[in-house]
Structure 1
């Protein structure tokens, strides 16, 4: 059987013989804390500096006196909402969250904890993986929203400190011809990316065989495959929703 077929079967088993609802509530809440709260620092740093760099580099290339200053912040706004906020943030999260999920499940597999759950009659896929996917779908849009705000605000601070654009012109630029569907597009991308990252990382970790070396390989494969999946999905969503 191909790896794709095995992956689809793995996803199907998530919803067979589930546990009671109250069991998932506590598990999802704990996963939200692990995935969301623990990712705030890296998202804050990456998003702020991406916005700042975009602003400075755009201003450096805007040497035409006939181009108004507010175009700089308009470019920062659109590039942040359409690409830098959702896509780059999720690529970073695929490294942090994806490797963590794959390593955790891989360790549970080689220490036979997953086998023990199955002996007790518990659907290990549903019990271990489904809360991680649901928590990712809940927290990723929040992190992407924060990243979009910080990216635009980082551009504001950089433009103000370097004198590349005045605060008044920057605010006018981010308000100029704003399209609300750009934010909707960013949130849709974040939900799709969250599902791909969590499910691919869980799949890689769940079927780990061997020892500690194989756990490391599973974590690496989870990050690599989820990054590729995010970039492919990014193109398809851009073609579907914007193109």
Structure 2
């Protein structure tokens, strides 16, 4: 009987800890957002974070999108050929890339790169007392370290997703025309006929939300890290895992909001 009570107690403590952490993250996010409308704004920090997120993440996002589009076209052809529905490949590729795969894969790539980088950078500042030094110098560490990065993530990821969408569709077009024997003009016409503004908008909204969440979790995990180098490593891992899970969970929530009937 005691082991049952102990198990219930552990589950209760875990649930309370999760609720406490979620509340702390929400308050942290509200504080970071509130600094957007309260001067000063550190444009140099924003520019550095934006370049790190948008420009230096572009190669990995671009390669991921191209090969995803190529694989998607090839796999779609393999499946649709069984039902003589090869003509639907263009529709499947463009809708899958624009609605889902572009934002989600770009988000996961950025989470692995930028979420980890921000967590390690700010975590190192925390364990070496640099954040306390900012406070001593009358500089709000959230305004200086968090707000510019969160804004940069929310603005940079939609730009990356636009590139990912174009390259993903191009990858599918390359496979369809060069390997599967589709006419280029017919494939592109089928792509444009099925694409709607709502499809593109939903993907960009997802990208903005994902960028905000990824940079928020990266900065949060770094800001709250403790315990020297080991703590920074744990914060980096937590940032990548938590932001990746949130990207997938929020993907469903936003999809439900846009396309549920």
TM-score normalised to structure 2 length: 0.87
Give the match for residue 61 of structure 2.
Answer: 43
Give the CA deviation at 1:137. Answer: 1.1
Say whether 1:55 aligns with 2:96. no
Partner SS for 2:175: helix
Say whether 1:20 aligns with 2:37. no
CA contact (8 A) 1:18 1:127 kept: no
Q: Distance in 2 between matches of 1:25 and 1:211?
A: 30
Structure 1 portions without partners, runs of 5+: none
Say whether 1:6 aligns with 2:43. no
Q: Distance in 2 between matches of 1:233 and 1:60?
A: 31
CA contact (8 A) 2:53 2:110 kept: no
Structure 2 portions without partners, runs of 5+: 1-16
Give the match for residue 256 of structure 2.
Answer: 239
Give the match for residue 152 of structure 1.
Answer: 169
Q: Deviations over 1:109-155 (max 9, x none)?
A: 11111010011121101110000001111110000010000000011
Aligned residues: 240
Give the CA deviation at 1:62. Answer: 1.9
> CA-atom RMSD, angstroms?
1.6
TM-score normalised to structure 1 length: 0.93
Q: Distance in 2 between matches of 1:115 and 1:31?
A: 21
Q: Distance in 1 between matches of 2:38 and 2:125?
A: 20
Give the match for residue 130 of structure 1.
Answer: 147
Give the match for residue 136 of structure 2.
Answer: 119
Q: Distance in 2 between matches of 1:123 and 1:133?
A: 15
